[in-house]
Amino acid sequence: MLLVVASGNGREGVEGAMKVLRENGSAIDAVEAGIRRVESDPDEDSVGLGGIPNILGQVELDASIMEGRTLAAGAVGALTGVENPISVARRVMELCPHVLLVGAGARRFAEETGFVPCNLLTTPSLQKWRSRLPEQISENFRELEDRGELLPLVRAIAEKMRRAGTVNFLARDERGDIACGVSTSGWPWKYPGRLGDSPIIGAGNYADNRYGAAACTGYGELAIRCNTAHSVVLYMKMGQGVAAACREAMGDLAPLLAAHGGGMNIVAMDRQGYPFGITSSATGGSYWVMNEKSIAPEECELERISSAQAG
Ligand code: ASP
């Protein structure tokens, strides 16, 4: 069963990812193709080009990719000036003895392996970023970098501003190999150097051919603390179906969601390619599914589970 599953903001990459699979490409090629499309869209302000920047006005990107057959993985965090961090993550996976590179090291690796630097800050994302700064700071925003204290500003702006966004892609190819990828500009107005769950293998992203794959969007600090993506796969290993495994992982998050607010969405598939998605948001949400028989991506509702119900 050929399958592509994507988070709500992944719609425009789904057909391209399925095309890769239909042309006998690998699951990991499909995941990378789908995510690149979303990263390069300047109107998507939570991923890649045009992502809302950190508190200093720098767009810092996180991404990870994992191959379920070998458990090979690559990730980058707080990467600046590269439009397609998912491809850098893949290159880390394929060329580097490490799994995760961050900050200046990730940028250096990207340039060394042929990625062309670019400006990720678009005029609309600069405007959105400035609109939440106190007026006096917004007028002199170029001086922010020399400011001694950033923490009070991060607490005042970012803490209230949990809405972010992330793109997830999962794919299963002709050979039954599965792969999973995640990309984001992370928590807007974040403290420089903050990593969420997206580049942390096990937290925001996990794939294992023997059981399935899962990826998260939402309050990354909580997915890190519960190792959410890996938990879903582990619950499948322990015998649960994909829906039960997602509910169980959401249950693990429930006390943290109740204590800290924010939300979590999980998209997952089992090893046969049965998809499922779940959200802690009371207002729901959707994800995209396309299989070998589909003419177009199908929008599916995330199962709603309030943090009070979960756990
Ligand atoms: N999970 C992402 C992060 O914490 C953000 C999001 O999906 O809303 O960086």
Burial 256-292 (b: 16+ CB within 10 A, else e): bbeeeebbbbbbbbbbebbbbbbbbbeeebbbbbbbe
CA distance 24 to 128: 41
Interatomic CA distance for residues 236 and 230, integer angstroms: 10
Q: What pLDDT is recorded for position 310?
A: 53
Closest atom of ligand 1 to CA, residue 217: 7
What is the Cα–Cα distance from 61 to 82, expressed in whole angstroms? 8
Query: Cα(19)–Cα(34) distance, rounded to whole angstroms?
Result: 10
In the set 166, 217, 228, 279, the catalytic residue is 166
Residue 144, C-beta contacts closer than 8 angstroms, at least 6 positions apart: 55, 56, 57, 137, 150
- CA torsion 281-285-288-293 (nearest 10°) is 110
Is this model's pTM higher than 0.85 or not? Answer: yes
Say yes or no: CB of residue 164 within 6 Å of ligand 1. Answer: yes
> Which of 39, 26, 109 shows the shortest CA–CA distance to 66?
26
For residue 235, give the CATH number of its domain: 3.60.20.30
State residue 309's pLDDT score: 61
Domain containing residue 152:
3-310
List average pLDDT for each run of 10 residues in the chain, which is 311 residues long. Answer: 97 98 98 98 95 95 98 98 98 98 98 97 94 85 82 88 86 98 96 97 98 97 98 98 98 95 96 97 95 96 75 48
Q: What is the pLDDT of residue 162?
A: 66
Rounded to the nearest whole angstrom, what is the distance from the C-alpha of residue 174 to the centroid of ligand 1?
A: 31
Q: Which pLDDT score, from 0 to 100, does residue 136 have? A: 81
On the CB side of 161, how many CA atoms lie within 13 Å of its CA?
24
The alpha carbon of 167 and the centre of ligand 1 are apart by a number of angstroms equal to 9
Number of domains in the chain: 1
Which residues have CB under 8 Å from 280's CB, separation 6+? 218, 250, 253, 254, 257, 263, 264, 265, 305, 306, 307, 310
Q: How far does the centroid of ligand 1 lie from the alpha carbon of residue 47, in Å?
A: 10
Annotated active-site residue 123? The verdict is: no
